Amino acid sequence: MKETEKLKQSRAIYIVSLVLLIILTAWIIKPFILTIIGGLILGYIFYPVYLWVLKRMKNKWASAFIVSTLIILIFTIPIVLSIQLFAKEAYVSYILIKQKLASGGEFKGECLEATLKCDAVRWVGNFLSNSQVNFYINDALNKATQFFIDKSREFITSLPQILIDLLILIFVIFYTFKDGEKFLKKVESVIPLRMDHKIIIKDKAKEMLNSTLYGIIVVSIIQGIIAGIGYFIFGVKSPVLLGIFTALAAMIPVIGTGIVWFPVSLSMLVNGLIENQNSLIFRGIGLMIYGFFIVSLIDNFIRPKIIGKRAKLHPILVLLGILGGVAAFGVVGILIGPLVIALFVTFLEIVYLGEHEAKS
């Protein structure tokens, strides 16, 4: 009897200790949970590349290090180049507008033809040349300047945290390559489900992730091509290079393609107004409309359909997963959201099949 009581006490102590350790562990890793998830996802995405390198190098450490470094470069270089492009165009436009306002110049072009294009240019020119509008433009520029100064200070302050997150990301990716298979087998052995159910869930998760990645890549290429055509139509320099940048930017949730086409179109519009070049104004407005309504919005229609078709999941569920995932988890939510919904549907199917088997 005493041994039974001792056994119960030991079990109770074990359960309480386990719960406390789970809470403490979750509390410790909470600041880095999204970074860890992002590292695991990137490790999964580039695992075939790691295996390809490993076959040739025959060294796990070296192969994992090379592919981890490659991943960081793939994602940082386009972002840095896009930020440089935006900063350069924004700075030049800011200086030109300031000079125009300081000299008392008007934003009017010489377009005298009786066409819709000239009417639009004249209306924009008259609107921007209004003294009250000039005041608001000046005020907006000052606020924008202060905003960027504040954000720069925040960035410098948060730089140590960014470096820590980057270091953790690299470590997670590295060890996902090196020990990913061992870790996955341990997780599978701990999950308290029937083996056939484990296989169903594993296959569904793999199918969903592969479908989402396929959808992201295909839609990004489509957006890059469509954007490149737009850059060519509206006379932007280096349309092919900008199209490639747009395709890479399309893979980044929330920010997306706008990080490329918006500064380019805004620069064209501002330079056209300042230099009184009507064609430049028209092209800038046209590219901005084209970028927003065609380049940026097309993924909301195409991506859910492509992913849903491959993953055998309704497009509306995929769309909700993407939008909800990004809102809840940020950048990595574009993969986590659809995956969670797909697994939820799979669990419901398992429960339904279990009840059906029990009745029969």
Cβ within 8 Å of residue 185, ≥6 positions away: none
What single string gives the DSSP state of each residue in 66-134? Answer: HHHHHHHHHHHHHHHHHHHHHHHHHHHHHHHHHHHHHTT--------SSSHHHHHHHHHHHHHHSHHHH
Contact present, 169 and 39 (Cβ < 8 Å): yes
Domain ranges in the chain are 33-354
Burial of 121 (0-12, 13-18, 19+ CB in 10 A): buried
Q: pLDDT digit string (tens) for 218-250?
A: 999 999 999 999 999 999 988 998 898 899 888
Angle at 42 between CA 39 and CA 47, to 5 degrees: 120
Question: What was the pLDDT predicted at 52?
Answer: 92
Give CA–CA dist 249/224, Å, rounded. 9
The CA distances from residue 200 to 50, 97, 170, 203, 204, in Å, are 26, 61, 31, 5, 6
Give CA–CA dist 354/347, Å, rounded. 10
The pLDDT mean for the chain works out to 80
Q: What percentage of the chain carries pLDDT values higher than 90?
A: 11
Give CA–CA dist 130/264, Å, rounded. 25
Q: Highest mean pLDDT: which of 85-99, 114-128, 263-277?
A: 263-277
The model's pTM is 0.72
The CA distances from residue 286 to 158, 268, 311, in Å, are 38, 10, 37
3-state helix, strand, coil in the chain (%, to 5): 90, 0, 10
Residue 110 reports pLDDT greater than 60: no
The token duo for 15 is: 């359960």
Give CA–CA dist 305/302, Å, rounded. 5
Question: What was the pLDDT predicted at 259?
Answer: 81
Least confident window among 74-83, 100-109, 228-237: 100-109
The CA distances from residue 4 to 7, 17, 18, 281, 360, in Å, are 5, 20, 21, 85, 40
Give CA–CA dist 93/101, Å, rounded. 12
